[in-house]
Structure 1
Amino acid sequence: MTFIDETQAQQVRQRVLTARSDREKFLLQMKQRQQKGWEVAQQCARILFQEFRVKRVVLFGSLLDYQKMTENCEGSRSSYSYWK
Structure 2
Amino acid sequence: MWTEKDNKLSKTFKFGDFQEAFAFMTRVAFLAEAHQHHPNWSNVYNTVEIELTTHDQGNTVTEKDRKLAEAIDELNA
State the TM bucket, normalised to the shorter chain.
Answer: 0.3 to 0.5
Query: Larger relative contact order (C-alpha < 8 A, sep ≥ 6)?
Result: 2
Return the index of the structure with the highest Cα Rg.
1
TM-score normalised according to structure 1 size: 0.31
Larger proportion of strand? 2
TM-score normalised according to structure 2 size: 0.33
Larger proportion of helix? 1
